[in-house]
């Protein structure tokens, strides 16, 4: 089976079919996401928070992103694989962006890369597109700018902010991005962007009008029940399931109930007890 291409994704907008994107960072979860038939898997730099336990995404390196993207690549048979360009891997110049994106394409199995920022990132996006590298844009709440935004805050709530989000999305689409993630923006702003740009919008905390939706895989699976932002819907409570399962295992080990005979091996030939030399 071949992987979903950039053209397939763009056609979905034309055909009015929603695009389903999730994040994954490892082989096991990526395989399950692929089996569930998602359209796109994003190896997000959110792995800094989800996998590494950092408080933001800023410290994530290119080496870490390439490593995790390779793990996910081995799992996917169907979904399109895109990978996040980490902080400071593309901000210096369009040439730096090209070198970083080129590394993803050569070493990781990614079919496209995602980078944050609107008007200011347009030259970098244009350079990658010119070199034949498909780009996903990302505007609105851009986590790599957490300190500029004063936290992970919804963007575009006032008129000037909403205008900025729209201008950013237009600039990114104009630069050649084949789709645009809209994160943390009011739903009417997302609806306006979705109507005005020719490429698909993928929303997270951006309301129902986007051409697709993305959620962090561990959020939608409820693997951290103490983390419940407004934009997340949990489709499972795996935190409870996993903790209960590991509790049951620990209890059985402690009372000697595991392993049983069915989990143990027998010899092929009888054992003669005695000296072995």
- Residue with Cβ nearer ligand KIV (28 or 244): 28
CB 47 to ligand KIV: min, Å: 7
Site string for ligand KIV, 1-40 (x = CB under 6 A): ----------------------x-----------------
Site string for ligand KIV, 124-143 (x = CB under 6 A): --------------x-----
Please, are residues 106 and 149 in contact by the beta-carbon 8 Å criterion? no
Q: C-alpha 265: how far from its chain's center?
A: 42
Place of tokens 């069915």: 262
The CA distance from 206 to 179, in Å, is 15
- Residue with Cβ nearer ligand KIV (120 or 247): 120
Can residue 44 be called a binding residue for ligand KIV (CB under 6 A)?
Answer: yes
211: its two tokens:
């051409």
Which one of 30, 46, 186, 191 is in contact with ligand KIV (CB under 6 A)?
A: 46
CB 136 to ligand KIV: min, Å: 9
Site for ligand KIV in 204-233 (CB under 6 A): 204, 214, 216
Of the residues 95, 116, 174, 183, which is catalytic? 183
Q: Which residues have a Cβ under 8 Å from the Cβ of 86 and sit 6 or more positions away?
A: 45, 57, 60, 61, 62, 64, 65
User: Which pairing describes strands 112-116 and 80-84: parallel, antiparallel, or unpaired?
Assistant: parallel
The CA distance from 45 to 57, in Å, is 6
Q: C-alpha 167: how far from its chain's center?
A: 24
Where does the chain have alpha helices with state H?
A: 6-14, 27-35, 47-50, 62-73, 94-107, 122-130, 146-149, 159-175, 187-196, 217-220, 238-255
Which one of 34, 39, 64, 84 is in contact with ligand KIV (CB under 6 A)?
A: 84
Which one of 105, 181, 189, 193 is in contact with ligand KIV (CB under 6 A)?
A: 181
- Of 41-49, 127-135, 163-171, 221-229, the window that binds ligand KIV (rule: CB under 6 A) is 41-49
Q: Is 183 annotated as catalytic?
A: yes
Measured from each CB, the residue nearest to ligand KIV is 44
Please, are residues 101 and 128 in contact by the beta-carbon 8 Å criterion? yes
CB 143 to ligand KIV: min, Å: 7
The Cβ of residue 153 has, within 10 Å, a number of other Cβ atoms equal to 10
Can residue 71 be called a binding residue for ligand KIV (CB under 6 A)?
Answer: no
As annotated, the active-site residues are: 183
Binding residues for ligand KIV (CB under 6 A) = 23, 42, 44-46, 84, 138, 181, 183, 204, 214, 216
């Amino acid at each position: 089976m071949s992987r979903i291409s950039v053209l397939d994704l763009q056609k979905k907008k034309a055909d009015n079919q929603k695009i389903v994107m999730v994040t994954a960072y490892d082989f096991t979860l990526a395989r399950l996401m692929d089996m569930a038939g998602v359209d796109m898997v994003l190896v997000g730099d959110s792995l800094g928070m989800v996998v590494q336990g950092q408080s933001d995404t800023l410290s994530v390196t290119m080496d870490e992103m390439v490593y995790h993207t390779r793990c996910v690549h081995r799992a996917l048979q169907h979904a399109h694989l895109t990978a996040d360009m980490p902080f400071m891997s593309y901000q210096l110049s369009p040439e730096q962006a090209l070198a970083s994106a080129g590394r993803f394409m050569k070493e990781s199995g990614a079919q496209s890369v995602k980078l944050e920022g609107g008007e200011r990132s347009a030259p970098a996006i244009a350079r990658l597109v010119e070199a034949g590298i498909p780009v996903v844009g990302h505007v609105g709440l851009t986590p790599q700018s957490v300190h500029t935004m004063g936290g992970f805050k919804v963007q575009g709530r006032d008129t000037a902010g909403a205008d900025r989000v729209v201008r950013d999305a237009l600039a990114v689409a104009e630069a050649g991005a084949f789709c645009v993630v809209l994160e943390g923006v009011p739903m009417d702003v997302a609806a306006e962007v979705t109507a005005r740009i020719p490429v698909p919008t993928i929303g997270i905390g951006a309301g129902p009008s986007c051409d697709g939706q993305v959620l962090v895989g561990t959020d939608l699976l409820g693997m951290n029940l103490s983390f419940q932002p407004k934009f997340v819907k949990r489709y499972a409570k795996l935190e409870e399931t996993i903790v209960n399962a590991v509790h049951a295992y620990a209890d059985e080990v402690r009372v000697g109930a595991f392993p049983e005979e069915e989990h143990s091996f027998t010899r092929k030939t009888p054992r003669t007890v005695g000296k072995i030399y």
